[in-house]
Structure 1
């Protein structure tokens, strides 16, 4: 039974991931963004390379769907159609490319992507079109996972209030992660082997969402974001180092 719940990783690793799932959802509710990157960094450090993006996608699907359900009255549904069309195209094109990747490239790519999300700003053109945002971010999510900042740039441009921003962002990310999960299932990823752990990660993520809603007014946002960026930078550098070591010194290829 234990192996089913922790997917063979062992309880120390599984427990760490459950804590990160809770913290990641808390961060996303508190600040509107950032929790997905924290979860991605942890998964990329502790999971086999081929499982990082599919498992992250399904966990984020559960977390965003739960957040969206709690805040459904704040959603801007008129933004859903164009984004969904773009997301479908982006997932289809990305899925046709991401068939076989060396684990070193996955780790380096995810590390660079996380580092970029901390230090840079998403391109301005994403503010103007839901379809372009859906296509661009969904294509990238098949390779790097955490494209929430791209979608957040588009949502921010709609000038919604705080609740509307969080709810609409959760709605769009639910669509993206649902399409991604379907794509990886069609590509042959064995989600069943990870089902127990993924269910627990989603559950802890929901707890983080609930606690985050209660604690919003008590957080020193400036200091917390500084600490968050510092942790993400360290994790990203570690992933880049580990991936580069695999590429330089060799290692088996990992099939998605």
Structure 2
């Protein structure tokens, strides 16, 4: 890998981690950069390894805001979903590498069909402030099955396409988990997902991470720096701007990926 490509990946990792710490979205930007820089079969495992470092740093930086009542049901579905995904990824790659790229963009766009309830944000937290313990418990319980189900879906898609964070974002926004709580909780879920995914690629699919030791190290350092830069910027956003920016970024990234893949397909015709 040339010095120019390495520098570009470092800047992209820094930018994506900063965005992730501000909006909860940014990993897909790094994913799209890796799609250009490395072979398709290496994209998801490398993305997972870098995102493990990024997610771990966000968990550390936002640890006081983690919503464990939301994160734990998500995490319960991750392992079974990941095991299903690891069985499907080799089959999909054997059909066509383009399938992986198309699935990434389609997954993001589908997640945008669910509109967040911004007028009822943080229902459980608001109920607790008002002294309504039973109301808070009801708000969390009503979404628990959703969290477990989405956790399983995230496990599958995280292995196959590496872009499952968009699904988590929409589920958390729908449940009214925003700003610091959103970043902290999503990071906890994704760090757990990547902690499962990274060794699965190494043991089950024999992916050699050592071959990419230098770019991995550089990108990991960059994402940790981006996390703490983004944390300082997050306080400047209102809840409404946070939700709008998160959804706008999801749409733009997905469209860029679809357009790029369509252009590549037309060149082959």
TM-score, normalised with respect to structure 1: 0.80
The aligned residue for residue 208 of structure 2 is: 190
Residues 15-30 of structure 1 aligned to structure 2 (within 5 Å): 15-30=7-22
Compared with structure 1, are the counterparts of its residues 90 and 240 closer, same or farther at alpha carbon in structure 2 (3 Å cutoff)? farther
Structure 2 match to 1:110? 101
Q: 119, 140, 149: which one pairs with 2:166? A: 149
TM-superposed CA distance for 1:76, in Å, is 1.4
After superposing the two structures, state which structure 1 stretch, 222-231 or 53-62, moved more. Answer: 222-231
2:192 is the alignment partner of 1:175:
yes
Q: What RMSD in Å do the two structures reach over aligned CA positions?
A: 3.1
For the 8 Å contact 1:38–1:232, the answer to whether it is kept is no
CA contact (8 A) 1:127 1:154 kept: no
Work out the CA distance in 1 between the residues paired with 2:176 and 2:114. 17
Q: Which residue of 2 aligns with 1:209?
A: 227
Structure 1 residue aligned with 2:259, among 237, 243, 251?
Answer: 237
- Equivalent pairs counted in the alignment come to 238
Q: Output aligned runs, 1:1-256, within 5 Å.
A: 9-33=1-25, 35-102=26-93, 105-114=96-105, 117-118=108-109, 121=112, 128-186=145-203, 187-216=205-234, 217=236, 229-230=251-252, 233-242=255-264, 244=265
Q: Determine if contact 1:84/1:134 at 8 Å carries over to the other structure.
A: yes
Shift of 1:105: 2.7
**241 and 112 in structure 1: CA distance in 2 versus 1, 3 angstrom threshold:** farther
Give the Å deviation of 1:77.
1.8
How far has the Cα of 1:237 moved from its partner? Answer: 2.0
Contact 2:61 2:228 in 1 (8 A): no
**Per-residue deviation, 1:178:** 1.0
Q: Aligned partners of 2:177, 2:256: CA distance in 1, in Å? A: 33
What residue ranges of structure 1 are gaps of 5+ in the alignment?
1-8, 250-256
For residues 220-249 of structure 1, give each alpha carbon's deviation from its aligned partner in whole angstroms, at most 9, with x where no partner exists: 87789768854653344223443x479x68
* CA displacement at 1:59 relative to structure 2: 0.7
8 Å CA contact retained: 1:45, 1:239: no
CA contact (8 A) 1:122 1:153 kept: no
SS at structure 2 position matched to 1:98: helix
Greater CA deviation, 170-179 or 193-202? 193-202
Secondary structure in 1 matching 2:176:
coil
